[in-house]
Amino acid sequence: MNVRPVSVDERWPVLVGVGQLRSNRERTVEGAREPLPLILDAVRAAAADGGVDLTALDSVLSVHVASWAYDELAARVAREVGAAPRHVVDTTVGGQRPAELLELAAARIAAGESRVALIVGGESQASVQALWKVGIDPADHGWSATPGGPPSFEASGLRSEAMARTGLILPTRVYPLFENALRAARGETPEQAARASAELYAAFSHVAAANPAAWNPEPRTADEIGTVGPGNRMVCEPYPLAVNAMPHVDQAAAVLVMSAAAAREAGVPEDRMVYVRGGAGAHDAVDVLARPRFDASAALSDVLDRALAGVDRPDLVDVYSCFPVVPKLVGAHLGTAPPVGVTGGHSAFGGPLSSYTLHALVAVTGHLRARRGTALVHGNGGYLTHQHALVVSTTAQDYAGDPEPRDTAQPGPPVAGRVDGEVVTVETSTVEHGRDGAPAQAWLVARTASGERYSAATAPGDAASARALSLEHGENVGRAVRATTKGEFVVVEDL
């Protein structure tokens, strides 16, 4: 029998239905499906989980889909399920978006502007690749053309002109800069930090093994993850392939959030409700080269402090894990080991671009229903640029969120446009390896003798300069090297 707590406010937002799926892991042409049908399957699963009539939806919010383009995806999802919502929201790209959207839906519910909201997201990048590999245009395979079309990617808010000019436009190149700076600040050797990353991602793989929507559900050991070799090449130092996010997946998720009153009217049992206490969002400078430091994130620290204000230590922390440095920074701020959570991580569970945290909400909801307690769920976008953290709980409590992210950017050091044979001190760097395993190109962030920051890439094919910045020398941060600007690139020499 359900006993209604007399203290529960009717407008408190509660998670009532969650659904997720994995599709076409075999990457076959026959199994290739576009994101929209996957999303609709996840929506139906969430509706069945919560016992919710989808025609009652007054809000539909969609996370950006990158593998296939849609015009007004939220509105289309609503039409497909027979709903006529007052509020529809579509986002641009960003791993923080699912947490932002849940915050927005919860705030509207708490304000009495909404009662039943749906948040959706999904990707079919594995199927896109499978089709293109055999020369089939997805549009000729029956995928939506109106609205819809070839994949799109909006880079606004993700990188600066300075980053683009130096080639820092790929996450695989940028996140190692943070990792290497953090390792040095902690006084860890490259070997110690690499082992910690491997052990963390091995733990993720064991979590993913129990998640039915995981893309790579096979448990792996730290030795398998940390050993560089065939099938696990070095991408950008210090990250081998096994600790990089896996975006080439077909996955979708959906979450239903309602007011407590609407949930009870729908017959949702009290023990199936997970309360959204609220959270916080923040943005750092888009240009990572303009930030004051690389071993910390002002935006991340800000959202963790604000989301957890007035909350005892959460029973569960599930964080974004596109690269090891993100959970390492979260753990450092919370004074704990890097959190493993219950989703499985971007490498083992899969990294469906902007939708990963929506899957985390599915996993966390299931965990809390079974074990009760309070959880922190975190989303990260850009290059440690956009952050949002949420607290959800099986204990009824006031909504105390803030759906509007705030700017936490702090000024960085003055920038040197070029150096001419100067001795500079490495602040952080990374070396990208070719598929042959050899260093191919490096990115240097350094300080001049006068304290200015200088950043540049070595020329593609300049193996000598790349090797000069490689971790094969041991610790790189703090090293003095000679740097000379040659056109758009830098030549680096050991002293």
Check whether residue 391 and residue 436 sit in a common domain: no
Check whether residue 23 and residue 57 sit in a common domain: yes
The answer on pLDDT for 7 being more than 50 is no
Q: Taking a C-beta distance cutoff of 8 angstroms, is the pair 324, 239 a contact?
A: yes
Check whether residue 115 and residue 138 sit in a common domain: yes
Q: Taking a C-beta distance cutoff of 8 angstroms, is the pair 295, 182 a contact?
A: yes
Check whether residue 402 and residue 427 sit in a common domain: no
Residue 266's region, left for phi above 0, alpha for psi from -120 to 50, else beta, is alpha
How many domains is the chain partitioned into structurally? 2
**Measured on CA atoms in the order 325, 330, 332, 337, is the torsion positive or negative?**
negative
Does 308 fall in a domain? yes
Report how far residue 284's alpha carbon sits from residue 299's, in angstroms, rounded to the nearest whole number. Answer: 5
> Whole domain around residue 476: which residue ranges?
420-494
| Domain CATH for 448 | 2.40.50.840
At 298, list the tokens: 């002002």
- Residue 41's pLDDT is 98
pLDDT tens track for 474-483: 899 999 999 9
Mean pLDDT of 174-197: 97
pLDDT band of 154, cuts 50, 70, 90: low
- Residue 3's pLDDT is 33
Check whether residue 352 and residue 482 sit in a common domain: no
Burial class (CB in 10 A: 0-12, 13-18, 19+), 387: buried
Check whether residue 52 and residue 131 sit in a common domain: yes
Does 139 fall in a domain? yes
Q: Which of 362, 381, 407 is the last residue of a domain?
A: 407
Does 216 fall in a domain? no
Check whether residue 251 and residue 373 sit in a common domain: yes
The answer on pLDDT for 378 being more than 70 is yes
Mean pLDDT of 292-313: 95
pLDDT tens track for 76-109: 999 999 999 999 999 999 999 999 999 999 999 9
Q: How far is CA 126 from the centre of its chain?
A: 18
Mean pLDDT of 272-290: 96
The answer on pLDDT for 4 being more than 50 is no
Give 214-219's long-range contacts (Cβ < 8 A, gap of 24+).
214/22, 214/344, 214/348, 214/349, 214/350, 215/22, 215/25, 215/246, 215/249, 215/251, 215/348, 215/349, 215/350, 216/246, 216/347, 216/348, 216/349, 216/350, 217/348
HSE of 9 in the Cβ direction (CA atoms, 13 Å)? Answer: 14
Mean pLDDT of 294-319: 96
pLDDT band of 1, cuts 50, 70, 90: very low
**Which residues sit opposite 119 in a β-bridge?**
61, 255
Q: Which of 379, 407, 435 is the last residue of a domain?
A: 407
Check whether residue 270 and residue 393 sit in a common domain: yes
pLDDT tens track for 221-280: 999 999 999 999 999 999 999 999 999 999 999 999 999 999 999 999 999 999 999 999
